[in-house]
């Protein structure tokens, strides 16, 4: 069963640019789809469209469908974490994570004990308890990223959309967050769609990848199918070697070109 299916999604910006141009993809329930591609390929725009935050052409179907057509109905089904979340500086970490419960509260409703427990659990899972009283404006980039993820977890969505969730994190916190997301996926059948800058991490955690190039799908499939030396050269203009880890997933290693300029030139297709 596909938890999310997109058919021919196209985003046309006000100025007429088309950063996402006919993208189709699907992710199975409990699956992890990694969206990769060079800077400007359209990854963030695609994720925002899937999250219903940008107008798009084409169709995005959730299964099961949200209970209704209101924003809060969608928010119970799907949570989105931006690449650089804008956080209100004077709100405390605890208050902010509790805001993740908003789609479950009635009008003027205050969060109850159950909501507080869920928010506390999200704080614990991301090892943020000691920061609970801190104002968001005082946090480091990595702490902000973890707080934004904690709020998304408190939302208890079925589908989690993460835009480069580890870009501000050190190696240890990167692993911690990716392992946590993977555990949620396995334990709670959470479905994950994430963009990831680090292709080796994408291959380690995502079970399928979609490679975007200039708004279109250049390749899709298992990490080992998508991450070939020739495709990385074509799409990223980068030289890599690909080895395989013990679980059979590809590991990319940058290789210095003999002629440093050549792989960067779009008109050169052999190196
Ligand atoms: N609001 C916007 N106005 C103009 N151009 C935009 C806007 N949002 C994105 N773009 C352009 O769309 C392209 C894709 O951007 P983005 O989705 O952020 O790429 P990625 O996340 O893959 O780096 C880029 O060329 C970017 O400059
Ligand atoms: Mg982006």
* Sequence-separated (6 or more) residues with CB below 8 Å from residue 39: none
For residue 43 and ligand 1, the question of a CB distance below 6 A is answered with yes
Tell me what pLDDT residue 263 has. Answer: 54
For residue 14 and ligand 1, the question of a CB distance below 6 A is answered with no
- Closest ligand 1 atom to residue 38 Cα is 22
Structure tokens at 47: 């994720």
For residue 34 and ligand 1, the question of a CB distance below 6 A is answered with no
For residue 44 and ligand 1, the question of a CB distance below 6 A is answered with yes
Residue 59 in 3-state DSSP?
A: strand
> 28-71: per-residue pLDDT in tens?
999 999 999 999 999 999 999 999 999 999 999 999 988 888 88
Q: Whose CA is nearest to atom 27 of ligand 1?
A: 40
For residue 45 and ligand 1, the question of a CB distance below 6 A is answered with yes
Nearest CA among 23, 14, 66 for reference residue 44: 23
Q: How far is the CA of 40 from the centre of ligand 1 (A)?
A: 6
Q: Which residues of the chain have pLDDT under 70?
A: 259-271
For residue 19 and ligand 1, the question of a CB distance below 6 A is answered with yes
Q: How far is the CA of 220 from the centre of ligand 1 (A)?
A: 21
Q: Which ligand has the minimum distance to the alpha carbon of residue 49?
A: 1
Structure tokens at 99: 């805001």
Q: Are 170 and 142 in contact (CB under 8 A)?
A: yes
For residue 39 and ligand 1, the question of a CB distance below 6 A is answered with yes
- Closest ligand 1 atom to residue 47 Cα is 17
For residue 155 and ligand 1, the question of a CB distance below 6 A is answered with no
Q: Which ligand has the minimum distance to the alpha carbon of residue 164?
A: 2
For residue 37 and ligand 1, the question of a CB distance below 6 A is answered with yes
CA distance 140 to 229: 36
Tell me what pLDDT residue 142 has. Answer: 87
Q: Which residue is it, tokens 């013990």?
A: 246
CA terminus-to-terminus distance, the chain: 42
CA distance 109 to 224: 48
Cβ density class 100-118: b for 16+ within 10 Å, e for less: bbbbbeeeeeebeeebeeb
Q: How far is the CA of 42 from the centre of ligand 1 (A)?
A: 6
Q: What global pTM score does this model have?
A: 0.92
């Amino acid at each position: 069963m596909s938890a999310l299916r997109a058919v021919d999604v196209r985003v046309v910006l006000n100025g007429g640019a088309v950063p996402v141009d006919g993208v189709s993809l699907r992710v199975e329930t409990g699956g992890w789809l990694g969206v990769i591609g060079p800077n400007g390929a359209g990854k963030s725009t695609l994720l925002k469209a899937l999250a219903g935050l940008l107008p798009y052409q084409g169709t995005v179907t959730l299964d099961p469908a949200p209970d209704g057509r209101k924003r809060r109905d969608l928010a119970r089904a799907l949570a989105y974490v931006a690449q650089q979340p804008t956080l209100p500086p004077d709100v405390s970490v605890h208050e902010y994570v509790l805001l993740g419960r908003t789609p479950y509260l009635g009008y003027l409703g205050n969060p109850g004990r159950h909501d507080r427990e869920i928010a506390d659990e999200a704080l614990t899972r991301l090892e943020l308890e000691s920061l609970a009283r801190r104002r968001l404006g005082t946090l480091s980039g990595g702490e902000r990223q973890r707080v934004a993820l904690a709020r998304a977890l408190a939302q208890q969505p079925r589908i989690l959309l993460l835009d480069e969730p580890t870009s501000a994190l050190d190696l240890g916190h990167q692993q911690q967050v990716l392992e946590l997301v993977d555990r949620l996926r396995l334990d709670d059948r959470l479905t994950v769609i994430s963009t990831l800058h680090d292709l080796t991490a994408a291959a380690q955690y995502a079970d399928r990848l979609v490679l975007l190039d200039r708004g279109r799908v250049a390749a899709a499939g298992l990490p080992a199918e998508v991450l070939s030396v020739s495709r990385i050269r074509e799409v990223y203009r980068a030289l890599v070697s690909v080895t395989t880890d013990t679980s059979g997933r590809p590991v990319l290693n940058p290789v210095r070109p003999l002629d440093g300029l050549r792989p960067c030139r779009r008109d050169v297709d052999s190196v």
